[in-house]
Chains A and B, each alone.
Chain A
Amino acid sequence: MDDKEIKEIAAINKITFAQRMREYKRKPLSLVMFILVVLAAALSVLALVFLIVYILVMGVPNLTPDLFAWEYNSDNVSCMPAIINTVVITLLTLVIAVPFGIGAAIYLSEYAKRGNKLVKVIRTMAETLSGIPSIVYGLFGMLCFVTAFSWGYSILAGAFTLAIMVLPTIMRTTEEALIAVPDSYREGSFGLGAGKLRTVVKTVLPSAMPGILAGVILAIGRIVGETAALIYTAGSTTGLVDGVMDSGRTLAIHMYMLANEGLHTNQAWGTAVVLLVLVLGINTLSSFIAKKLSSKK
């Protein structure tokens, strides 16, 4: 069948507006269902638009220079230290989680034999990890890193907790990116005399890089927006962290504290804008990279 033929068949299947109306008249329930479907979709989009616009409208006028002062005090409730803390904890988390996530993905897609029982267990465990709520991670981080390792409330304890949390995300996206690399690349590399490791590191990893990057950025989005896992691991001290063993609040925790105290509503709106724009920007960047990757193929 060539394209023209397919188009003709599609034209037969396409009914006109008048025909559709006649059909709806005979079967009013179909019309009701159609309206419900459209309404639901409109409602979903409207919820998002309303949420974002409302926060922007309430928050943008509150983005004063005071909110970005270098020093936090109870007057300006600056979110600048919290932003810097967030960057620190994000970098620390990635340093811990990325090598493990990528290494695990390399094992699963390049080394493990098909039908290996252990692989199945690893996948199940990674899936289990991604289903655990962040508050349970927070509890675990508190019991393990803060108490048992006696690190106290610290950026390091927070970063380790978050690293376990984002591990399945990085693992899964990296594995998908590795699997998407055509086998001919590997065969070509083997054919030129490269060993297994050389093939993986020099050929497979570089071509999977955009996919891996998209996964890492997605993980950053989760880290920046996380609250429950950090509140009893990294703590909620105001001010800039002074080394990795120091406690400090990230932007999301700062936001929670402001909302909970209820004293600085204006500043809370401003902080909400910063957090929202940051996280949505990160996520958009991630899906942009992922889309660019898939359109190239």
Chain B
Amino acid sequence: MQGVFFLTAITSIAAVALICIFLFYNGVPAIAEIGFFDFVGGQQWAPTNQPPSYGIFCMIVGSIYVTAGAIIIGVPIGILTAVFLARFCPAPLYKIIKPATELLAGIPSIVYGFFGLMVVVPFIRDTFGGNGSSLLAASVVLGIMILPTIIGVSESAIRAVPEPYYEGSLALGATRERSVFRVMLPASKSGILAGVVLGIGRAIGETMAVILIAGNQVQIPTSLTEGVRTLTANIVLEMGYSTGLHRQALIATGVVLFVFILLITLSMQAIKSRSEKNG
């Protein structure tokens, strides 16, 4: 029986291997045919033109912008909320707020997207002009979406700091807040960093919510209210009708996204092993 259990255990290795093989086998030839630098650095994405051009630079920048926006909005709020939950929250209130942040994690991305489309986009259209579907809308909604990740990981990182650190700081005459922000947070920074990296991974891979609210124009946005297209959106939007090299170029877009995610996972594991060594 041990053999059977062993076989089931290596399915995850097999799955990662299969995903790599299928993506790279289908995507890499397209990158080779288009030319690596034309593909990654090209600013023109016009697969239906004659001759077609397949440059995904705008989408790479789009993904990075949207992720950065989500981080700018989500990380400060997330860390401060984690501080509140870990240090300042009265017990009865904790019983309400903690499950609430967990619920936020469970809401499907399509529901976030629809909410963004019906509420955030019109709000931005009326307040800041433009047509509403924009970098700003995507950043706000993604910022909310990564909140539970940041809160959860940061809170447990802050809780993992030994209590004497806090008490020692209080005994030296620091206020509660000073103790938390100058002693507890620095002591838990690698855990919090892991949470932020996890949030980056979620934001960069998010698809359905972004498609509905980001506008999806292939351009490098010059203002927050302009539309933007991410790597993920590019795949879903055009996969349905694409053929030939166009289709392969979309798979290659997935390969680029996959490589981004692998880099993020690697840095995540590096942070983890470093903190294990130190702890």
What is A's interface to B at a CB cutoff of 8 Å?
13, 23-24, 27, 29-31, 33-34, 36-41, 43-45, 47-49, 51-52, 54-55, 58, 99-104, 106-108, 110-112, 118, 121-122, 124-129, 131-140, 142-144, 148, 164, 167-168, 171, 196-197, 221, 224-228, 231-232, 252, 255-256, 259-260, 265, 268-269, 272, 275-276, 279-280, 282-284, 287
Residue from the list B85, B103, B117, B258 in contact with A41, Cβ < 8 A: B85
- Complexed CA–CA distance, A178 and B18 (Å): 28
Residue B206, interface by CB 8 Å: yes
Interface residues on B, range: 35 or more
Q: Is the CB of A129 within 8 A of B12?
A: yes
Contact A27 B107 (CB under 8 A): no
- In angstroms, Cα B12 to Cα A108, docked, is 12
Residue from the list B103, B232, B269 in contact with A127, Cβ < 8 A:
B269
> Is the pair B106, A279 in contact by a Cβ cutoff of 8 Å?
yes
Interface class of chain B by DSSP: helix
Q: Are A133 and B106 in contact (CB under 8 A)?
A: no
Secondary structure class of chain A's binding surface, majority of residues: helix
State the CA gap A231–B144 with chains docked (Å): 24
Which one of B43-51, B53-61, B174-182, B221-229 is at the A interface?
Answer: B174-182
Q: Which residues of B contact A142 (CB under 8 A)?
A: 239
Interface residues of B in 145-184 (CB under 8 A from A): 147, 151, 167, 170, 175-178, 181
List 8 A-B residue pairs with CB atoms under 8 Å apart, sorted by A's residue number. Answer: A37-B177, A40-B84, A103-B5, A107-B9, A131-B268, A133-B206, A225-B106, A228-B232
Q: Across the interface, do B110 and A225 meet the contact criterion of CB distance under 8 Å?
A: yes
Tell me if B204 and A133 are in contact (CB < 8 A). yes
Interface: B32 (CB within 8 A): no
Closest to B106 in A: A283
Closest to A281 in B: B106
B235 at the interface (CB under 8 A from A): yes
- Assuming A33-B181, A37-B84, A136-B254, is B109 touching A225 (CB within 8 A)? yes
